[in-house]
Each structure stands twice: as structure tokens, then as C-alpha cells.
Amino acid sequence: MGKERDGAGQVRPTTSLSPSAEFPPLSAQDIETLRRLGEQWRVEKPARALPVDPELRPSRPGAARARGPDEAFRPDQPGELTATPAAERPDTSRGRFALRVRRVLLGPPLSSMSMLRERMRKLIALPVLSSDLLSSVAYGPEALLTILVLAGSAALGLSLPIAAALVVLMLAVGASYRQTVRAYPHGAGSYLVASDSIGPRAGLTAAVGLILDYVLTVSVSVAAGIAAITSALPALNPLSVPLSLAVIAALLAGNLRGIRVAGNIFAAPTYLFLVAIGGMTLFGLGQAVARGFTVIPPPPVPATEAISVLLIARAFASGATSMTGIEAVSNAIPALRPVEWRNARTLLTWMISILILLFVGLMLLTHLNGLVPRANETLLSQLAHRTFPHGPWYPIIQAATALVLLLAANTAYNDLPRLLYYMARDAYVPRRFLHMGDRLALTNGLVALSVAAAVILTAFRGRTQALIPLFAVGVFLAFTLSQVGMVNHWRRHRGSGWRRRAAINALGATLSAIVLVTAAITKFASGAWVVVVAVPTLVLLCLGIRRHYDRVRQAVSLHPTPTQLTSAERSEREMAQEFLPQRVHHLLVVPVARFDQAALRALAYVVSLGQPALAVHVSPEDQEADRLRDEWTAWGDHVRLETVVSPHREILEPLAQYIAQLRERQPDITLTVVIPEVVVNRPWQRFLHSQIERRLRRALRRLPGVVVTSMPIHLSEVHPQATR
């Protein structure tokens, strides 16, 4: 079983995705510290009876609890209620309208107990997880030939030997990932393998490579799909970018509906593509058999470069984009039905077999028909035209190709949110990526992927060939690290047949490294420099996020670290005094701008708490301060008032500085600042007020030992007669 590190840096076995990941359990050391603190916990005054029943039982004895569609909470057991859909219903008309729109677009919410039911069976998982891999044959062969044709038509004869080498790479990487699925059956793919077998930084580098790969998968797939449409309908070419953005929005909406629903929606186009391309390949090979496998000479193309090892390596690296998406199954194991790892291995075998058959068939047909890349028509479109010059088959093939390319991005929508989930659990990305939406989808990861892909696609104006140089570096960086990690895994565990398995992984690592280095060097000026720069930059960013979370963990940990103990020179028992109620000393401060209902309500609240209280007023001049003191005396001077005159009419900063100096004079007190605040009925009405309450709250939150709260007064609750 693989392992991962939790937010406290402790190693634990990996588990499937869980809605509870946002709330990790306490460690055994934390529990012991908590027990010792509880033994010292004392309350000076006995607890009074609660003024309201927290279980929300009927107030009249003998009355039955109301049940029905409007019941907000359902009792399950003593001390526990379950929120019903009525509790999630907004209390404003705008909120209810937004909820209705959300339900129409995404469907009703799913309970946490539905996670197992939402997993995919193999026939649905195959098109969902393989759409990226299988659709890459629509542009991978063309990318290979685009490089070869630089040496002229004569160089196109090298396409078949290069294709054979790529098949070896596909087999090696596919076999390696089959072993990865068995050795790490809980998902996370290259990230987990590299982290566990090489080290955290290697895992983080692999993860960053995959993140770039998935973002580019969406960009390239959507751009290639729109290119297939514009090849058949050239009039739509000026609308390529808007159409691409619309497709990304549709993919986001579909995936927000949940894994199973998205799978059912997007499965049919992949199967249609397999039937269409498979049928075209068989029919084209039949035509070749009828003419005795005679090769049609390609049109003459002048050479702009000489044939060289570097040119062949570039063609090999470009053609290797035909296998992007091969790691998808290893990342999405938890999305499959039990037994997850066994179903994942079966899926991977199917995917590799279909990929090799399609890739070899298309490369062979392209060679036999003497086709070369064109600027205004894709290679697959030319092949369909040549194979089916008449009848409905050409538009069917183009439609199937466009659909599968557009939906190939769905593989990234399945895998990237999961990768971000595992990285967030290890504290390398914001923890909000742990959150599951009401359809059990990792909503924040889906939105982040859509936004990033839309930005990249717009920046490159939807041109597939401009995006592909960025594509190979990230994905083969992850491939290489994953293969090296698996070699280390077998060397460390040395189970039965480990040498054979390590040899397969070593071959995959070598070939992947060749593609990685070749793509990084030869395509550097064409755009690969973006990925070369982005990978270390994002790694450093993730490490910075981890350091931040480590500092937060140390600051809020129930048990102090050795560093904390040394710097403070106090024992755990002495530090624990901060957490005991008998050691907390209060001072409540109420900023008062004028005498009104908001100020009176805040003052009544702080006095009712029975703690020392102080009112503070900042005046722009002495006359105004004197007037407020006179009003204070008329009221009865029930709370000590301190006025501060600000000659330059600054209100916020002098008030914040005054409260800060109160804290400095007595560091052991807890200052609770209760801010009177008027809550308006409409959002636009906020602009009619100074919002000094919000600004003061932001300023005071920076001060240690200061608690900031507000006493709201709603306009609907104001009693005009109270001011008369």
C-alpha cells in the first residue's frame, strides 16, 4: 500500500477520496495533550441551563415534532442532528433563484453516502479515461510528419521506423503503469510513485508536470476539435477562440454534475470515434490490399532542413504526443468500482491495445496514400477524404473526430481535480481543493482547470501546432519520474520477478527521458521554454505553500514543537495556561461614533457579559468630543468613556493604535472589540455608507490578542419610536 503525509507531516496509508479530508483527525499525541489540558480545565462559575433546546424539540410538552418537506433538521441520536435540504435553502429571493438555476444545470445534491454509487463501471470508464489517449492519434501522427517533411518528401519514408519505436515506447510505458496500478492501488499516479520512491521534491516535480499536462490537454484537445470543425466548415475559422471557450464552459458544466453523470454524457462520442476511425482504417487497408499495397508517391515537398539524428529525434518526440493521457487510469483508480486496481489494470490493457491498433493503422494508411501535412486541412481529414471520396462517411468521421477531440479534455477534468486533492492533503496547494461540491465533484479543481485552460487557449489563439510544443515536456517529465520511481520501488521491495519488472520500468524511463530531453531542447524556442520555466517556478510555489501550512500547523498545534519550547523557555504545562478559561482576562471595548441604537445595543451586550468594559470615541475636534461626553453623562455614565481627539480627522488609524497600545500595556488581557454595525437591506445601499466598520475590522485583525466581533442592527429591526 502506498503512503502519504498528512498536514502534520506524518506518514499514513493512502485512502480514497473522502468529504472528511478537510477535517483530518487528531494524532495520538494531540489526543494525549488534549486529555492533559482537559484535566486542568476549570470554570469559575457553574454553567447555567441553556435558554434554548439545542435539539430543537417541540416547546409544548407532548407535542410531536413537525415533519415534512420544510423540516430543516432531523434528529438521529442524542446530541446529533442531520441537516435536510430545507436547511440548505437560502432565505433571500436572489439566493433561491440562484439555487433553482444551479439545480437545473447541475441536478439535485448527492449525499456523502452516494460516493460508491457514483463510481464508474468499466464500459463507462473506458471512454471517459481513454478519450485523451485515443483522441491523440488525431494529431500525434500529424505532429510527427510535420517535422519529417522539413527534410522533404524523401524523409517521409522514415515515418514507419519511427512509428515502430513509438509503439515500443507505448508498450513499455503501458506495462509500467500496469505495475504502478498494482503497487499503488489508491490513485495519485506519478505524484505518489515519485514521492514514495524518490522523494517529496521529485513527487512534486512530477505533479507539476502533470498539472501542466492536464491544462494543456484541455487546451490542445479543444483547439484540435475546433480545427476539425473548421476544416470541414472553413467559414467558422474566425470564431475558433469563442467556440473553444464555449466548449470549455460546457465541459465544466457537465463535470460539475458529478463523475457518473459526466461519464454517461461523454461516453457515446468516444465509442463513435472508435467505430469511425476503426472502420476507416479497415476500409483503407482493404483498398491497399486491392491495389497490392502499392504506395502512392507523396507530392513533392522542398527540403528546408537536412536529414539528421536531431531531426529524427524531434519527429520521435512530436509523435510521442500520441500517448498523452496514458497515466489517466493510475490517477483515477478511486473513481472505479471495486475491485478498483483490478478494473484499472483491465482498462489500461484495453486502452494500450486500442491505441496501438489505431496509431499503427493510421500511420500505415498515411504512408500508403502518400499524404503530407497541410496548413488548411488536418491529416485525418485528408485521409478520410481519400478513403471515402463520396457518401456520408467523411462528415461522420469528421464529426466523430471533432467530438472526441473536444471531449478528450474530459480526461483532464477527471484526473486533475484528484491530483490537486492529493496535493492539498499533503499541503502543497490550497486546502480548498479538498472540498467536494454538492454533486460529489471536486468543484474548485474543475473551475481552476477551466480557467487555466481558457487563458492558455486564448493566449495562443486556439492554434494546435503552437500548443503541442508545450505539451510533451510536462507529460514526459511525469512519465520519466514515474518510471524511475517504479525502478526504485522494485529495488527496495525485491518481490518475485522484481528484476523483470524493474527492467520494464527502466526501459520506459530511458525512452521517456529521451523524449523529454529532445522536446525540451528542440522545441525550447518554439514555446517549450514556457514549461521549462513554469515547472521549477510552480515547484517553488508549492514548497512555499507547504512552508506556510507548516507554520500554521505549528502555531495552532495542541502540542508545542521543540523549537517553540526553546524560544519561549517554558514547559508544555506553562504554555497550556493560555488554553484554560481561568487564565483568560477580558476587556471589552466598544468604538462609539455617536449615540444611537447601534451603539446602545452594543453597550447593552458588553455590560450583560459581566466583564470590564470601555467605550472609545475618536473626535475630529474638541467641541465634538465635549458634546459626546455631555450626552454620555445624560445617559448615566454606565460605562467608562475615553475620547481621543484626532486633529487631522483620521478616525481609523488612531483608534487602531489606541487599542494596540492598550494591549501592549497589559499583554495578558484579551481585548474583545465589539463594533456596532448597521446592516442594509440591499447590496447597492452599502455604497451610501462609509463602511468604516469593515475597515476597522480589517485593521484590528492584524493585532495579536485582539478579538473582533460586530453587533449588527438591521434596518428592518429599527424602532423609530426609540429615537424620539
pLDDT: which is higher, 366 or 331? 366
**82, containing H or E segment:** strand 80-83
Residue type, 53: D
pTM of the model: 0.77
Q: What is the pLDDT of residues 506-546, one digit of tens each?
A: 888 888 888 888 888 877 777 778 888 889 999 999 999 99
Write out the residue limits of the CATH 1.20.1740.10 domain(s) in the chain: 112-533
Identify the residue with better confidence: 203 or 119. 203
How much is the average pLDDT of 404-422? 83
Domain 112-533 is in which class? mainly alpha
CB < 8 Å & 24+ apart, contacts of 196-202:
196/2, 196/3, 196/485, 196/489, 197/484, 197/485, 197/486, 197/487, 197/488, 197/489, 197/492, 198/481, 198/484, 198/485, 198/488, 200/5, 201/539, 201/543, 202/481, 202/484, 202/485
Of 283, 282, 323, the C-alpha closest to 133 is: 323
- Percent of residues, the chain, with pLDDT higher than 70: 86
Q: How far apart are CA 120 and CA 131, in angstroms?
A: 15
> Which distant-in-sequence residues (6+ apart) come within 8 Å of 221 by Cβ?
132, 135, 405, 406, 407, 408, 409, 412
The pLDDT score that the predictor gives to residue 543 is: 94
With a cut of 80, say whether residue 397 has pLDDT above it: yes
Q: Would you state the pLDDT for residue 115?
A: 59
Are 515 and 169 in contact by the 8 Å Cβ rule? The answer is yes
Residue 166 host element (H or E): helix 159-183
The residue-averaged pLDDT of 257-275 equals: 77
Ramachandran category for residue 628: left, alpha or beta (phi over 0 → left; psi -120 to 50 → alpha) = alpha
Q: What is the pLDDT of residue 500?
A: 86
Q: How many CB atoms lie within 10 A of CB 636?
A: 7
In a 10 Å sphere around its CB, with 0-12 CB exposed, 13-18 middle and 19+ buried, how is residue 647 labelled? exposed
Q: What is the mean pLDDT of residues 616-641?
A: 88
* Residue-level pLDDT at 15: 46
Where in the chain is CATH 3.40.50.620?
Answer: 584-723
Q: For residue 65, what is its C-alpha cell?
A: 415534532
Cα–Cα distances in Å, from 44 out to 574, 675, 707? 20, 28, 21
- Please tell me the predicted confidence (pLDDT) of residue 541: 94
pLDDT given at position 70: 54
Q: State which amino acid sits at residue 172.
A: A
pLDDT tens column, 320-331: 878 877 888 887
* 21 has pLDDT over 70: yes
Q: Is the pLDDT of residue 613 over 90?
A: yes
Q: pLDDT > 90: what percent of the chain?
A: 10
Residues 393 and 172: beta-carbon distance below 8 Å: no
562 or 335: whose pLDDT is higher? 335
Each residue's pLDDT tens digit, 119-138: 777 888 888 788 778 878 87
For residues 507 and 83, give the distance between their C-alpha atoms in angstroms, rounded to a whole number. Answer: 54
What's residue 590's pLDDT?
92
Mean pLDDT (the chain) is 80
For residue 676, which of 588, 611, 609, 612 has the smallest C-alpha distance?
588
The more confidently predicted of residues 375 and 276 is 276
- Cα–Cα distance list, 679 to 601, 684, 717 (Å): 14, 12, 10
Q: Which residue has the higher pLDDT, 108 or 549?
A: 549
Residues 6+ apart with CB under 8 A from 39: none
Please name the residues in contact with 385: beta carbons below 8 A apart, sequence gap of 6 or more: 394
CATH 3.40.50.620 fits 584-723, yes or no: yes
Q: Which range among 396-400, 498-502, 639-643, 648-652 shows the weakest confidence by mean pLDDT?
A: 648-652
Nearest-10 crossing angle of helices 159-183, 309-319: 50
The answer, yes or no, to whether residue 12 has pLDDT greater than 60, is no
Higher pLDDT, 70 or 392: 392
Give residue-wise pLDDT tens across range 672-691: 999 888 777 777 777 777 67
Check if the beta carbon of residue 588 is closer than 8 Å to that of residue 613: yes
Distance CA 491, CA 484 (A): 11
Average pLDDT of span 195-206: 90
- Determine contact, residues 148/390, Cβ cutoff 8 Å: no
Measured CA to CA, the distance from residue 235 to residue 212 in angstroms comes to 32
Q: What is the pLDDT of residue 482?
A: 87
